[in-house]
Amino acid sequence: MLYVLMGVCCILIGVNGGWDEEVGLLKRGGGYQREFDYFKLCVQWPGTYCRRTRHCCSNNACCSRSNSPSVFTIHGLWAEYNDGTWPACCSGRPFDEREISTLLEPLGKYWPSLSCGSPRSCHHKKVPFWGHEVEKHGTCAYPVVHNEHEFFLTTLNVYFKYNVTDVLFKAGYVPSNSEKYPLGGIISAIENAFHATPEVACSGDALEELRICFYKNFEPRDCAHDTSSRGSCPRYVSLPARGSWGLRSNTTAAS
Ligand SMILES: *[C@@H]1O[C@H](CO)[C@@H](O)[C@H](O)[C@H]1NC(C)=O
Ligand SMILES: *[C@@H]1O[C@H](CO)[C@@H](O)[C@H](O)[C@H]1NC(C)=O
């Protein structure tokens, strides 16, 4: 059942950037949750995600034209169980941006919000994307991760070390609005670089997310589920180029 919910949650995120729904569906009561089994680093492709941008706001990186990211950006570092479920909203203090004041620059660049919605925290408050991720997932990464600052620093370090963008670009999978790439080739490129099988997620025929899994010591491992399947992806996928999204209407009007 939880596996089904995972599917539902991701579709909702896809449609609405709906962090609220995600928390709403998966939040557990204040009960004890056993220690997690492994980590999943989720990175998202802005060229795909931002195609759904319909309106803009200052905290949506899809809207900052000149600055909009052209690399896979961080979605989150999730604590997972081997059976395909995961703990959520474990005990921990509410998100406090002051704890990560020294990390705001890299976080803004590599872990931007790609939507205008305000997600809910585990404490039912509206919080930034980061607040949602640390409260829901970061608090469950104990005893590997002990506090908010460590969660964000750890995630950035893993993301820097396992550069999915670099692997794909070097294998010839570069952003394009006309090319389609074999999904199997993309998965193989990651497997060859990291010696572990990733998970993939698509929006239509466009690659939207790649997920790399790690043991608790951050050595790569296969993701527990979905390793032999194509996830929500077709056999051939696109990697839409930056700037092809959202504000298309403005571009069209100007040309
Ligand atoms: C990852 O690789 C890409 C492509 O080579 C590069 O532009 C980017 O700066 C790298 N990111 C990090 C965080 O090192
Ligand atoms: C798009 O066009 C609308 C209407 O002219 C304008 O208000 C908005 O700021 C433009 N957005 C960007 C990012 O240029």
pLDDT at 93: 86
- Tokens 């005893």 correspond to what residue? 143
Mean pLDDT of the chain: 83
Residues with Cβ within 8 Å of residue 49, at least 6 apart in sequence? 62, 114, 115, 203, 208
Choosing from 250, 252, 255 the residue with most ligand 2 atoms within 8 A of its CB, the one to mutate for a pocket test is 250
208 is annotated as an active-site residue = no
Helix (H, G, I), strand (E, B) or coil at 11: helix
Q: 241 or 12: whose pLDDT is higher?
A: 241
pLDDT at 228: 57
pLDDT digits (tens, 9 = 90+) for 162-188: 999 999 999 999 999 999 999 999 999
Task: Tell whether the model's pLDDT for residue 17 goes beyond 90.
Answer: no
pTM: 0.81
pLDDT at 88: 93
Tokens of residue 169, six digits? 């670009």
11-20, 69-78, 86-95: least confident range: 11-20
Q: How confident is the model at residue 118 (pLDDT cuts 50, 70, 90)?
A: confident
Which ligand 2 atom lies nearest to the CA of residue 63? 13
Ligand nearest 58 Cα, by number?
Answer: 2
CA nearest ligand 1 atom 14, residue? 160
Task: Tell whether the model's pLDDT for residue 24 goes beyond 60.
Answer: no
Q: Give the CA count within 13 Å in the CB-facing half-sphere of 48.
A: 23
Task: Tell whether the model's pLDDT for residue 26 goes beyond 60.
Answer: no
Provide the Cα torsion 243, 7, 231, 46; round to 10°. Answer: 10
| Residue 229 Cβ < 6 Å to ligand 2 | no
pLDDT at 220: 98
Look up residue 185 and give its DSSP letter: H
Burial class for 148, CB neighbours closer than 10 Å (0-12, 13-18, 19+): buried
Give the active site residue among 22, 80, 135, 137: 137
Mean pLDDT of 110-126: 89
What whole-number distance in Å separates Cα of residue 131 and Cα of residue 175? 30
CA nearest ligand 1 atom 2, residue? 166
137 is annotated as an active-site residue = yes
Q: How far is the CA of 112 from the centre of ligand 2 (A)?
A: 21
pLDDT digits (tens, 9 = 90+) for 85-99: 999 999 888 999 999
Question: Which of these, 21, 241, 215, 219, lies nearest to 115 by C-alpha position?
Answer: 21
39 Cα distance to chain centroid: 13
58-67, 106-115, 145-154: least confident range: 58-67
What whole-number distance in Å separates Cα of residue 138 and Cα of residue 7? 21
Give the active site residue among 21, 22, 75, 199: 75
pLDDT at 138: 95
| Residue 247 Cβ < 6 Å to ligand 2 | yes
Give the active site residue among 21, 22, 80, 133: 133
Q: 56 or 208: whose pLDDT is higher?
A: 208
Q: How far is the CA of 246 from the centre of ligand 2 (A)?
A: 11
